[in-house]
Amino acid sequence: MTTSLKLFTTSDEQQISEFFQASAGQWHSERRYYTLPQGETKEIESIITIRFLEPECEELEKLGQLHNLSDVKSLSCGAEVSWQSTDIIKDRQESQGLTLFGALGNILYRDRGFATSLPVTADYYFSSPQTLCLRTEYNNSVFEEEIKLIGSKYRTRQSIISRAGEQLMIGQYLEKRISCDK
């Protein structure tokens, strides 16, 4: 019989676990994207569902396999995020999908990126216990995101997408909790 024993959890992993658990539930998201430098705007509404993933669950093992981790059970926790989005201005469905996040140290492993269906990683840190900051780089682009929990009923998010040092898009979000999965 083989068991996987994790002897310690880093403070980053403890914080991300608490953050994911506090985020679990369903959210109504109102977003506005600004395309730069033209200033074109896009308004999106989404229903986002976040489910906390315990260590060694099937989803995190699959994520570990996608990233060729030597120990596929090494991810300390994670989140499954699904969404359905509607373009408010054009009154049509924009997108729907699901993505997985898994934490190991100060790296988030993802099964897909914002602009790719390929697995990606993001460096993360907390600027405060309620504010998660991510930096993801792929395809010569940089995606910086800040997600802030405001009490138990609200979140704000801001995303900045850059390429070759030039900002291409800014996304700003206000998310209101619909239900809690605790």
Per-residue pLDDT tens digits of the chain, which is 182 residues long: 333 434 344 577 899 999 999 999 999 999 999 999 888 899 999 999 999 999 999 999 999 999 999 998 899 999 999 999 998 888 788 889 999 999 999 999 999 988 888 999 999 999 999 999 999 999 999 999 999 999 999 999 999 999 999 999 999 999 999 988 65
Determine how many CB atoms are found less than 10 A away from the CB of residue 136: 21
Residue ranges of E strands in 54-110: 77-87, 92-104, 107-110
Structural domains of the chain sorted by starting position, each given as residue range(s) with its CATH number in brackets = 4-177 (2.40.128.20)
Tokens, residue 39: 């200033």
Residue ranges of E strands in 105-165: 107-110, 120-128, 131-138, 141-150, 154-163
Q: What is the DSSP letter of 70?
A: S
* Cα–Cα distance measured from residue 130 to residue 143, given in angstroms and rounded to the nearest whole number: 20
pLDDT of residue 10: 59
pLDDT of residue 9: 47
Between vectors from CA 173 to CA 80 and to CA 147, what angle results, nearest 5°?
A: 55
